[in-house]
Amino acid sequence: MGTESSSVEISEPLLEETEKIGIVETERVPEWKDQITIRGLAVSALLGTLFCIIVHKLNLTVGIIPSLNVGAGLLGFFFVKSWTSFLSKLGCSVQPFTRQENTVIQTCVVACYGLAFSGGFGSYMLALDEKTYKLIGVDYPGNRAEDVKNPGLGWMIGFLFVVSFLGLFSLVPLRKVMVMDYKLTYPSGTATAMLINSFHTNTGAELAGKQVRCLGKYLSMSLSWSCFKWFFSGGKACGFDNFPILGLTLYKSTFYFDFSPTYVGCGLICPHIVNCSVLLGAIISWGFLWPFISQYAGDWYPADLESNDFKGLYGYKVFIAISLILGDGLYNLFKILAITVNEICNKSSKQSNLPVTADALDGEASKLLTEQRRRDHIFLKDRIPSWFAAAGFVGLAAVSIVTIPVIFPPLKWYLVLSSYIIAPALAFCNSYGTGLTDWSLVTTYGKIGLFIIASLVGTNGGVVAGLAACGVMMAIVATAADLMQDFKTGYLTLSSAKSMFVSQLVGTAMGCVIAPVTFWLFWTAFDIGSPDGPYKAPYGVIFREMAIISTEGVSELPKHCLAICCGFFVASLLINLVRDITPKKISQFIPIPMAMAVPFYIGAYFAIDMFVGTVILYVWQRMNRKDAEDYAGAVASGLICGDGIWTIPSAILSIFRITPPICMYFGSSLTS
């Protein structure tokens, strides 16, 4: 499982046998330039736009981001295969669709929608805006009007262009070390390679066709259902999104099923333990903790405060969620750093194996060795010069050192320079840890930059400087880990390292434009950040509070809030420790603190949806495990994509002030 301290990203199952990669030895491998095609880039831009919208929607609602790699691979295969089949029927000559082109498309799409998350549109960028400033309170200590920078297409695109490419250049010289010498697994990259390779075999192509049809079927159903729901949502608390299926009493505590295809799809993709952890967090917080604290209104905090006042119950919700997230993130940071150091020491202490000739091996082992040598040769054939990577990093760093202080004046040039000096080391740690465990700690590294820079700058501009530094760090460590993951996929699909690097550059460039533009669609069409709306944007508030704490301290928290937060922080550390020291048959039932933290702030409704998804998957696995393994990802991707597609017409209708015609409202019969 790959996860981040502010989101959960679920990877496909890890391959354990290299022979399952399924490379055909006699297959002709196209040159690296032929692997990057116009049709591939066009499909990448289309899918990148769709997945950016999906990631924005998830980021601005619950902050849980499932892996969309399966959907990207399936839809990329579907679009290009459909296009080539259509042209062939017209009698046109078409270029064959290869696994390498499929890999390039998937790489571009992942690089593009990755920026919808690491670009901070649901976290540090949103923490800078005026809505979040007012939500926290204009009189709240440390929350200054000067520390506001509203989203703007120009500065967001410019900022992403100057910071998002540095991570790509920082670790390019280490590609051979990470992929071939250390033989890091990169589970998501390996699983994606298996998926793509299976598409391009005779038996795999048949299954892929069925998966694509399954995805299309559920995409259509999800899109139609989302459209149908819209007609009944013409008012506050109206429609199926507010269906009190568990009763009005539980509805008031946010325990209801809102019929969201997106969250049900997330439940189908996420492991059972993640979904159960989210539900457990909802039960602990909204079922017990918040009702308990509410009993002391007037004693622990003033009883007449607004629902979003940080000096009241709202403060407990935000800061207890922060404590769980920080405890989980810091524990896993130090854990992965320890694993990384241990693995590097073990590698350096081992002597290299004696060369083995193919003649000394049996037939199957000889075949595998030949395949590995072929992969090695193709991976190393098209070199990316180290001087080019170094020049790219230095050149981009020089540009951004001048540019970033113009965009964010409190973040001085020497602070940006300091960030770039330490960023490659952190990028290496994150990439190495991701290769070992599939656990990417992007936001944890971002928070480290936030705390350090905000505390150094102080109260006069520390909030803006800390949040901007968080963005710089997140962009570098995220793109570096993504690049190494893609190198692993390319290595296993016989794709050129140069084509992987170029496609990552192109996908990142797409993301620098598409991610801000699609976010701007949400920003202009919906009330982003409203505690009572569907787009609560929970991490905007959390990140701004982190920056304020770094400059002001915690003296203004409600009564006993700090003590409760410390308790949950320690509990988060202990739960992680118990998960690591107990046998797998026990640890698989121990909840994940970071997943538990999400509903503390948002509510329990999405936990119900995700739990429905996990129940469906569990029953499906019991009835037919093979079908569940083959099609669950396609069903989930279809549900998520269909609901995501509906966001576009919904946003357009909202921009033109066209409201749903019906309000379906549920209330007590005693008040009617």
Quote the pLDDT of residue 360: 46
Residue in the structure block whose two tokens are 């055909």: 24
| pLDDT higher at 419 or 270 | 419
Number of H helices, E strands in the chain: 28, 2
- Name the token pair of 457: 């700058």
Give per-residue pLDDT as tens, 221-243. Answer: 999 999 999 999 887 788 888 88
Please say if the pLDDT value at position 12 is more than 50. no
Q: From residue 71, give the alpha-carbon distance in Å to each of 105, 187, 312.
A: 12, 17, 42
Quote the pLDDT of residue 622: 94
**Within a 13 Å sphere around the CA of 325, how many CA atoms are in the beta-carbon half?**
30
Q: How confident is the model at residue 506 (pLDDT cuts 50, 70, 90)?
A: very high
- Name the token pair of 609: 């949806």
Residue 303: other Cβ atoms inside 10 A: 12
Closest to 455 in 3D by CA, of 465, 445, 441: 465
Distance separating alpha carbons of residues 491 and 497, to the nearest angstrom: 7
Distance separating alpha carbons of residues 156 and 120, to the nearest angstrom: 10
Contact 5, 327 (CB under 8 A): no
Distance separating alpha carbons of residues 243 and 227, to the nearest angstrom: 17
Residue in the structure block whose two tokens are 């008012």: 235
Quote the pLDDT of residue 411: 94
Rounded mean pLDDT of 441-470?
Answer: 89
Please say if the pLDDT value at position 11 is more than 50. no
**pTM greater than 0.85:** no
Contact 558, 312 (CB under 8 A): yes
Contact 609, 189 (CB under 8 A): no
Distance separating alpha carbons of residues 215 and 211, to the nearest angstrom: 6
Distance separating alpha carbons of residues 140 and 136, to the nearest angstrom: 7
Please say if the pLDDT value at position 367 is more than 80. no
Q: How confident is the model at residue 503 (pLDDT cuts 50, 70, 90)?
A: very high
Quote the pLDDT of residue 362: 57
- Name the token pair of 417: 């320079």
φ, ψ for residue 302 (rounded to 5)?
-60, 140
- Taking each helix axis from N to C end, the angle separating 413-437 and 386-407, rounded to the nearest 10 degrees, works out to 130
Give per-residue pLDDT as tens, 588-602. Answer: 899 988 888 878 878
Kindly tell me the burial class for residue 406, based on how many C-beta atoms sit within 10 Å of its own C-beta (0-12, 13-18, 19 or more).
exposed
Quote the pLDDT of residue 231: 92
Torsion 487-337-171-125 (CA) sign = positive
Give per-residue pLDDT as tens, 17-62. Answer: 344 444 444 567 888 888 999 999 999 999 999 999 989 988 888 7
Distance separating alpha carbons of residues 206 and 344, to the nearest angstrom: 42
Q: How confident is the model at residue 154 (pLDDT cuts 50, 70, 90)?
A: very high
Q: How confident is the model at residue 568 (pLDDT cuts 50, 70, 90)?
A: very high
φ, ψ for residue 143 (rounded to 5)?
-95, 90
Q: How confident is the model at residue 1 (pLDDT cuts 50, 70, 90)?
A: very low
Residue 292: other Cβ atoms inside 10 A: 9
Distance separating alpha carbons of residues 572 and 566, to the nearest angstrom: 10
Give per-residue pLDDT as tens, 402-417. Answer: 999 999 999 999 999 9
Angle at 197 between CA 193 and CA 201, to 5 degrees: 170
Residue in the structure block whose two tokens are 């999104």: 241
Quote the pLDDT of residue 363: 60
Q: How confident is the model at residue 384 (pLDDT cuts 50, 70, 90)?
A: confident
Angle at 279 between CA 273 and CA 280, to 5 degrees: 85
Domain extents for the chain? 38-341+389-656
Q: How confident is the model at residue 621 (pLDDT cuts 50, 70, 90)?
A: very high
Torsion 146-539-106-151 (CA) sign = negative
Q: Which of 87-91, 195-199, 456-460 has the highest mean pLDDT?
A: 456-460
Q: In the chain, what is the straight-line distance between the N-terminal and C-terminal CA atoms, in Å?
A: 49
DSSP code string of 359-397 = GGS-HHHHHHHHHHHHHHHHHHHS---HHHHHHHHHHHH
Rounded mean pLDDT of 640-657?
Answer: 83
Q: From residue 146, give the alpha-carbon distance in Å to each of 149, 338, 548.
A: 8, 41, 13
